Chain A
Amino acid sequence: MSNVLTENKKNSVSLSTEPIVKYLDVKKSFGDTHVLKGINLEIRPGEKIAVIGPSGSGKTTIIRMLMTLEEPTSGDIIVNGKNLWKMEKNGQLVKANEKHIREVRGDIGMVFQHFNLFPHMTILENCMAAPIHVKKENKDEVRERSIKMLERVGLGTKLDFYPSQLSGGQKQRVAMARALVMRPKIMLFDEVTSALDPELVGEVLEVIRDIAENDDMAMVLVTHEMEFALDIADKVLFLDQGVIAEQGTANEVLVDSKNERVQSFLKRFRKA
């Protein structure tokens, strides 16, 4: 199994800990196109996973299903021991209702390619909305925490700015602060730098690195930043045509892999 491969270099992810997320033979099709053809995957607490692969291979779909933005066609996703998309009712597994789904996905956060900040709220309000309304936390406490988080991503002086007044890189840093204030145990990143001007990519990667090194949450990064992935990931998944074609440590997949598809992908990638 892949357990041997996930042994890592920096963060010590203990092999003995139970996975926080399990994908069990998860398949997904849109109409006739089979996008994911049986994904088996385990994410351990604190583990940093990079997902790479050609365009259209299903990287986004994998994490969108965990965020409940897309429903699997078959298979199960287990989060903290609970089935994300199904619940028990009268001794039978049935499609989960909203209450169940909200309970299970509470530990998951996501950062999007196009930021998706709320344009009608200041950046501080963007951060505060969910902890207050979703987690019903104390407002002053949330404010304090949000300000700290915005300071951490370098936007402490712009608390009352609206998203439209910020650059792309700044928006993406706000989006990360907004997700972090919710204290998720798993953070999903979907190509968070690919909508940015090249000169703004660095500042966003810096924040991700900071999170990766100092927070103990699990992270799944869909990315095209190979070197960055190599640097921070405990495990790299290479996705191709809807299956995990290769997985292992960054070195194993990005440097040593004998898999032809990986190599041709990397070659093409380096050229580009």
Chain B
Amino acid sequence: MIIISAIIEITPQLLRGLGITISVLLASAIIAYIVAFVAGLSRVSNNVILNKATGVYVEVFRGTSLIVQLFWLYYAIPMLFGIQLGSNWWTGVIAIGLNYGAYLSEVVRGSILAVDKGQTEAAIALNMSRYQRMRLIILPQAVRMMLPEFGNYTIQIMKATSLVSLIGMRDILYYGDIMRSTNLSQAPLIYVIVLFIYFILALPFIWLTRKGETIAKKGVVS
């Protein structure tokens, strides 16, 4: 009984951070998806400069750690642009978006390359332009293959949003830490509830990932 009343007391306190967690999740996921497609397509393009430059971006962001990138941008953005971005929200969203954009661009690239070469040849035989081939034939098939990995990485992005509490954003974990510091004996319960909130946020993406797996299996056999 004591536990239940404690849960009822703690949960609303934590949920004050839900808005920030969700907004960071959505914004950084959208950035990551856009970056993934732009970078992924650049990496399969014939333009050598574009190709190489994107390659460097991808390797740098995949080769270093997200938390390091977050701290680095936190100090570098004001300096490089001479301005405060207005908020740490943007710093967090940009760091997470660019980091996972790099990982996801490899998914995009891999899926495009995984489309059977015969598909391109058939499209050429129908006199399609490069652009038409990509838009009508390759991408629709590649996107189906990408779905499960996009689901997986969205869960990773969701987990990564917890890092923004380290740069002062008031997300779920931030409120958890505040409560823990004033009431240490409740710490186990507080963190368990925090974990459950994150897990509930993850559930739709877990479900989507599984759904994506069946679509991916179905979509590409001819």
Consider the complex of A and B and state whether they touch directly, i.e. have CB atoms less than 8 Å apart: yes
Q: Is the CB of B121 within 8 A of A178?
A: no
Evaluate whether A119 and B126 lie within 8 angstroms (CB atoms) in the complex, with A112-B118, A129-B136, A133-B132 already known.
no
Q: Which residues 123-159 of B have a CB within 8 angstroms of A?
A: 124-130, 132, 136-137, 140-141, 144
The number of residues on chain A lying at the interface, defined by a beta carbon within 8 Å of a beta carbon of chain B, is 30
Complex alpha-carbon distance, A116 and B130, angstroms = 17
A49 within 8 A of B: no
Complex alpha-carbon distance, A112 and B117, angstroms = 12
Q: Is the CB of B140 within 8 A of A120?
A: yes
Evaluate whether A68 and B221 lie within 8 angstroms (CB atoms) in the complex, with A98-B130, A114-B118 already known.
no
Q: Is the CB of B127 within 8 A of A182?
A: yes
Complex alpha-carbon distance, A118 and B140, angstroms = 10
B58 CB → nearest A CB, Å: 27
Evaluate whether A118 and B137 lie within 8 angstroms (CB atoms) in the complex, with A69-B124, A134-B127 already known.
yes
Q: Which residues 53-81 of A have a CB within 8 angstroms of B?
A: 67-69
Determine which of B127, B137, B219 lies in contact with A102 in the assembled complex, contact meaning CB atoms within 8 Å: B127
Which of B118, B121, B124, B125 has the most CB atoms of chain A within a 10 A radius of its CB? B125
**Residues of chain A lying within 8 A (CB to CB) of residue B222:** 115-119, 163-164, 171
**Residues of chain B lying within 8 A (CB to CB) of residue A171:** 222
Stretch of A103-111, A207-215, A225-233 contacting B (4+ beta carbons < 8 Å): A103-111
Determine which of A114, A119, A134, A182 lies in contact with B221 in the assembled complex, contact meaning CB atoms within 8 Å: A119
**Residues of chain A lying within 8 A (CB to CB) of residue B219:** 119-120
B48 within 8 A of A: no
Q: Which residue of A lies closest to B132 (CB)?
A: A133
Q: Is the CB of A67 within 8 A of B136?
A: no
Determine which of B119, B125, B129 lies in contact with A109 in the assembled complex, contact meaning CB atoms within 8 Å: B125
**Residues of chain A lying within 8 A (CB to CB) of residue B126:** 109, 129-130, 134, 178-179, 182
B105 CB → nearest A CB, Å: 22
Q: Which residue of A lies closest to B118 (CB)?
A: A116
Q: Is the CB of A179 within 8 A of B125?
A: yes
Q: Is the CB of A112 within 8 A of B122?
A: yes
Q: Is the CB of A130 within 8 A of B128?
A: yes
Evaluate whether A69 and B127 lie within 8 angstroms (CB atoms) in the complex, with A117-B222, A118-B137, A120-B144 already known.
no
Q: Which residues 208-222 of B have a CB within 8 angstroms of A?
A: 219-222
Complex alpha-carbon distance, A188 and B122, angstroms = 12
Q: Which residue of B lies closest to A182 (CB)?
A: B126
Q: Is the CB of A67 within 8 A of B144?
A: no
Q: Which residue of A lies closest to B121 (CB)?
A: A69
Q: Is the CB of B125 within 8 A of A98?
A: no
Q: Is the CB of A116 within 8 A of B121?
A: yes
**Residues of chain A lying within 8 A (CB to CB) of residue B128:** 130, 133-134
**Residues of chain A lying within 8 A (CB to CB) of residue B136:** 129, 133
Evaluate whether A112 and B132 lie within 8 angstroms (CB atoms) in the complex, with A119-B222, A120-B140, A120-B141 already known.
no
Complex alpha-carbon distance, A110 and B124, angstroms = 9
Q: Is the CB of A110 within 8 A of B125?
A: yes
**Residues of chain A lying within 8 A (CB to CB) of residue B116:** 116
**Residues of chain B lying within 8 A (CB to CB) of residue A188:** 125
Complex alpha-carbon distance, A182 and B144, angstroms = 28
Q: Is the CB of A116 within 8 A of B122?
A: yes
A61 CB → nearest B CB, Å: 13
A173 CB → nearest B CB, Å: 15
**Residues of chain A lying within 8 A (CB to CB) of residue B129:** 98, 102, 134
Give me 12 A-to-B residue pairs in the complex whose CB atoms sit less than 8 angstroms apart, sorted by A's number: A67-B121, A67-B124, A67-B125, A112-B122, A116-B122, A120-B141, A120-B219, A120-B220, A129-B126, A134-B132, A175-B122, A179-B126
Residues of B within 8 A of A (CB): 116, 118-119, 121-122, 124-130, 132, 136-137, 140-141, 144, 219-222
Q: Lowest 5 A-B CB distances belong to which pairs?
A: A116-B122, A130-B126, A119-B222, A116-B118, A110-B125
